[in-house]
Structure 1
Amino acid sequence: MDLSLTLRDLAPGSGVSTIRVFSQRWLAALLWAATFSLCSAAEPPACPEWSPARAQKEIAQLGTQIETWDHAFYVEHRSLVDDAVYDQARSRLANWNMCFPMVAHNASQSPVRYPLSHPIAQTGLDKLRDVAEVRRWLALREDVWIQPKVDGVAVTLVYRRGKLAQMISRGNGERGQDWTHHALVIPAIHNSIPDRREELVLQGELYWQLDGHIQAESHFNARGRAAGAMASNNLSEKQRLSLAVFVWDWPRGPASMPERLSALKTLGYDTSPYTHPVGSVEDAQKWRELWYRQPQPFATDGIVLRRGDRPEGNSWQAQPPTWAAAWKHPAISALAEVTGVEFPVGRTGKIVPVVTLAPTQLGDREIRRVSSGSFQRWLELDVRPGDQLRIGLAGQTIPQIRDVILRATERAPLRIPDPHQYHMLSCWRPTVGCEQQFLARVHWLGEQLEFRGMGEARWLSLLEGGLLPDLLAWSELSSRQLTRVPGIGDKRAEKITDSFQRARELSFYHWMRALGMPAASSFDEHFWRRETFASLVDRDPEEWQNFPGIGASRSQEIVAFLQHPEVEQLQRKLSGMGISGF
């Protein structure tokens, strides 16, 4: 059960008396404690090590941000943040409130006036977090059915004597806004139905129709599109034709699910193709996966499990029931707290800052590190420890920073390298400030020369042991010297020295690529068979540009590399070692 979802669903005036009896200061702390005591055996998050003054600033800032999101969501019908990030922000605020109760901030929602009462309360849905929770939920219930959790805006349709009388937004679950004038011009919503009872109430999701939508491959903001249409004074032709309703329940309808589905079909709202019985967690997984990865006519954000024999509608309340729950699709974003920033310097001198995070669950993965993409982007974001980031997955696999949700109120100092000091021809030796780029160079060289058993950690051990004063110092190491390095025994040392010796027999191309010559792989095998270091040096930039794919900039880089004093010194040493081409 996820009580943070309930917080978003409980707008002012919801009538939930159990909430109102507590002071605002303790509300979030109470719900936070309930979440952990009722929902899981997870350890509560650790409290930040803040002074009272900083705690007050951090809590107030997060509370204000949540209030901004709430105002946009409830008043302007705009969703500024994914549900997962919102829920995590609410949970984080509750945790901070518990840690620092004297400066707690409740993040109250903006007051919204809802003119119409729902004939039957709109319930929320607790969220099941994973397969284990779904299995436990199913084990305690019978007659369970599954539907896609269509991503739109919840509505109530009220028919009186067969005529559409009202369409009411979900609002706070007990009262909502009057959207009837829009409903009357949407072709997919029937103005009349073949049932003439005094009042007939349906609940469902107003959604934006899509053609062959695959949720796993697209993050189209369908809910925002539907909500935006409802916020307009008059629907455009495209909006009228694009909107439809997925009826998920008939609160006072037939008692059993098969009977309700049959009767709904008669009314013109056939949801039977998307409503199926489930007897196991495997059944639920099958349908969830199908609706996530196969083309559908609407966007979804998960599945809904509900009992077919749920209570009659008059007993429903504006809060999550025990007879229905949601299992959402893998989150597309998450709120992550920054714990540090690293500035690794690569072989070519490029600096791509890496942000370390408190362990953050994103879909089925735990994320602890994320690249900033480039030094320039890090500068623009100015990410520091304590910041709260929104992260997502690029191409479903690579974590990336979407944006900074909140900046720490106290900016942590960082040792930031000057990117202008590092370039393709810097750091050929491990001098102060050059250790990272030098290690990247020697690691690249080892990979190109096919050294066995020489990963980054082992090169670092050699460097720390004083055995790597330059890029080719390894060639003079004996097995005895290697065994003095922690983690290298006699057999490992023999394998490493064998690799070192075999490298001497590799081609001139292998060696030039290992040294880092720009565009070395752009030239074919025939080129390298007839070249030597001297012949490469003899060419001027214009001659290099005669080769396919070599422009003015690249030709200058090649010449600068070949004429660099450190490269010339390496050439002399390689010549003395008898390496081909030097």
Structure 2
Amino acid sequence: MQRWIALSLYCLTCPILAAPCPDWSASRADAELASLQHQLKDWDLAYHRQGRSPVSDELYDQARERLQDWQQCFPPRVPDPRADLGPPGPQPHPIAHTGLHKLRDEQAVQQWLHSRSELWIQPKVDGVAVTLHYRDGRLLRAISRGDGQRGQDWTAQARLIAAIPQQLPRSDELILQGELYWRLPGHVQAQAGSGTARSQVAGAMSRSQLDAATAAQIGLFVWDWANGPSGMTERLQGLRALGFADSAELTLAIADLAQARHWRQHWYRHPLPFASDGVVLRQGSRPPASSWAAEPPQWAAAWKYPLSQALAEVRAVHFQIGRSGRITPVVQLQPVRLEQRRIRRVSLGSLQRWQALDIRPGDQVAISLAGLTIPRLDGVVWRGAERPALASPDPAAYHALSCWQPSPGCASQFSARLAWLGGKQGLQLAGVGPGTWAKLQQAGKLPDLLAWLALEEAELARTPGFAATSARTLQQSFAGARRRPFAQWLRALGLPASGAAPLGNDWDALAARDAQAWDGFAGIGRGRAEQLVAFFQHPDVQALRQRLQAAGVAGF
């Protein structure tokens, strides 16, 4: 099987992605296209000649589509290294293998269904396509799909695969087209994805010798009797009589989009004996096989499942610094869609992980959803040709007692302190969120963490982004903060966890405790005790205490 040719036929009529063409110079475009072409060549060589796949089939398909999109933007001036893999195969197909249009969304599916009658649906098995040619009831030849017109002769391997009948109870000539798949009993696509199921079959069929254990792992799904009866019902009855019962059981009549959607969801979320990457929609009747060509036909189309992994381009890497000083790299992406979610950014969790992955703008990364909700970066698929240097924050400069003012380098941590102070963990200020603090910061109203306590309604009303009513509401919320309990204020300022220690209502009493005194309370170890002492002794914290004392907040 020629992996790249099969995919190019499949995507021959795919619409260009909505993403704009990259803003590259000619030299940059040449470098990026060459980099991707060589990456694809490496994967193809591993796939065809070594029987392994360094990336999942799903990511490979997206990378190949990405190359086609870029070639639409920048007509290639770099030779495509795919030619190094050799010709598609010496064996001509008795009937051409067609590709499939890919319908991108429900609207496209509805349009396709609307103009057709006698509709059928079947799982789109994620394997490798094959022609089985029978004459006088005996298997004459098995041919890989190749370029749809010619393929590799797989007859020797087919003789060893029990799923491929060597004899059929008919004396005429039969030409069957189908999919060889890797057996996965009870496989649920929504949970397990396809992984490298397709690659395992392709690798096995490319070997000169096929061992018995591997041959037993290969199944067959016949999706068309190319020279069979003109009607689908008759073809399915004939296939069942020939022993291909699953072809009949998994090819179902449908009437509309609702039924197509139902079976697509059913096969996606319920067990099948193979990996599948979508459904195939078919008209029951189609032209005579003698008129078929190696290109997507009008009588069949694919509606793929949602991606389990999306290929995304890194646009930028930002470093967020939390209230405690923890540095979290956040990767900004060219938006991608997973499970109806549009994903623009993903957290890497830690500075150490970013350093290990060495992600830069222009890199292509794999994105999935953890628990179907949280975007997750699974790894780098390939690196951009140009890799700009990135300066990351110094971890030694940030800690739980840094950045009490928005001084240079402190914007992120200071904003995190404000969000904590006004949020549900802190003062629970009604109507105050990150957007409120951002407007006040942009207007220069927050030179320190507590400057908002002194803001009057008139001054707020003159601040961009606040009308008279919102200014009044905000000032009332700020004024109400003065009445919050002492312990709530301590949490809002970022007091380290104090275990079972009583906090009382007196700042001076707490500030007088040494590490030994704090360590004597349950739930506080030596390290936490030292953090508590450092908190009360820090000059910036003491300055905040004085501000609160002057504002009349109880306990300070």
Range of TM-score over shorter length: 0.7 to 0.9
The aligned residue for residue 147 of structure 1 is: 122
Deviation (angstroms), 1:63:
2.4
Separation in 2, partners of 1:121, 1:155: 11
In the alignment, structure 1 residue 211 sits paired with structure 2 residue 204:
no
The aligned residue for residue 399 of structure 1 is: 375
The aligned residue for residue 451 of structure 1 is: 429
Moved more, 229-238 or 390-399: 229-238
The aligned residue for residue 9 of structure 1 is: 6
In the alignment, structure 1 residue 518 sits paired with structure 2 residue 492:
no
- Cα 1:119–1:553 change in 2 (3 A) is farther
Contact 1:208 1:226 in 2 (8 A): yes
Deviation (angstroms), 1:432:
1.9
Separation in 2, partners of 1:373, 1:255: 58
Moved more, 427-436 or 367-376: 367-376
Matching of residues 135-174 of structure 1 within 5 Å: 135-174=110-149
- Cα 1:515–1:7 change in 2 (3 A) is same
Moved more, 205-214 or 108-117: 108-117
Contact 2:49 2:206 in 1 (8 A): no
1:389-409: CA deviations, max 9, x gaps?
A: 333333323333333344333
Amino acid at match of 2:82: S
- Cα 1:199–1:413 change in 2 (3 A) is same
Separation in 2, partners of 1:164, 1:546: 82
Matching of residues 118-517 of structure 1 within 5 Å: 118-193=93-168, 195-221=169-195, 222-232=197-207, 238-270=213-245, 271-362=247-338, 364-447=340-423, 448-517=426-495
Separation in 2, partners of 1:316, 1:155: 16
Over the aligned positions, Cα root-mean-square deviation in angstroms equals 3.3
Amino acid at match of 2:400: M
**SS of match in other structure, 2:542:** helix
Deviation (angstroms), 1:280:
1.6
Contact 1:55 1:103 in 2 (8 A): no
The aligned residue for residue 27 of structure 1 is: none
Deviation (angstroms), 1:86:
4.3
In the alignment, structure 1 residue 61 sits paired with structure 2 residue 35:
yes
Contact 1:209 1:243 in 2 (8 A): yes
**SS of match in other structure, 2:180:** strand
Contact 1:159 1:201 in 2 (8 A): yes
**SS of match in other structure, 1:70:** helix
Amino acid at match of 1:108: R
Separation in 1, partners of 2:66, 2:164: 40
Deviation (angstroms), 1:225:
3.1
Deviation (angstroms), 1:288:
0.6
- Cα 1:53–1:164 change in 2 (3 A) is closer
Separation in 2, partners of 1:370, 1:392: 10
**SS of match in other structure, 1:331:** coil
1:31-63: CA deviations, max 9, x gaps?
A: 99x958xx57x778335241x433332232222
Separation in 2, partners of 1:547, 1:114: 75
Separation in 2, partners of 1:10, 1:436: 45
Deviation (angstroms), 1:240:
4.1
- Cα 1:211–1:132 change in 2 (3 A) is same
Deviation (angstroms), 1:264:
1.4
1:85-111: CA deviations, max 9, x gaps?
A: 545544544454455558354443421
- Cα 1:547–1:185 change in 2 (3 A) is farther
1:285-309: CA deviations, max 9, x gaps?
A: 1111111122222221000011211
**SS of match in other structure, 2:294:** coil
- Cα 1:63–1:211 change in 2 (3 A) is closer
Amino acid at match of 2:522: F
Deviation (angstroms), 1:275:
1.0
Separation in 1, partners of 2:311, 2:432: 37
> Which residue, 547, 551, 560 being the options, matches 2:534?
560
Contact 1:45 1:95 in 2 (8 A): no
Separation in 1, partners of 2:542, 2:145: 74
Separation in 2, partners of 1:396, 1:107: 37
Contact 2:160 2:212 in 1 (8 A): no
Separation in 2, partners of 1:302, 1:555: 58
TM-score, reference length from structure 1 = 0.84
Amino acid at match of 2:543: Q
Amino acid at match of 1:129: R
Return 5+ residue gaps in structure 2 as ranges. none
Contact 1:391 1:399 in 2 (8 A): yes
Moved more, 529-538 or 408-417: 529-538
Contact 1:173 1:318 in 2 (8 A): yes
1:350-403: CA deviations, max 9, x gaps?
A: 222222233334453433323233222222333333333333333323333333
Amino acid at match of 1:65: Q
Moved more, 55-64 or 67-76: 67-76
Contact 2:179 2:220 in 1 (8 A): yes
**SS of match in other structure, 1:369:** strand
Aligned length, in residue pairs: 549
TM-score, reference length from structure 2 = 0.87
Separation in 1, partners of 2:257, 2:65: 27
Moved more, 65-74 or 473-482: 65-74
- Cα 1:444–1:496 change in 2 (3 A) is same
Deviation (angstroms), 1:128:
0.9
Deviation (angstroms), 1:555:
4.5
Contact 2:103 2:109 in 1 (8 A): yes
Separation in 1, partners of 2:419, 2:321: 13
Contact 1:537 1:563 in 2 (8 A): no
Return 5+ residue gaps in structure 1 as ranges. 17-30
Separation in 1, partners of 2:6, 2:406: 58
Deviation (angstroms), 1:444:
0.9
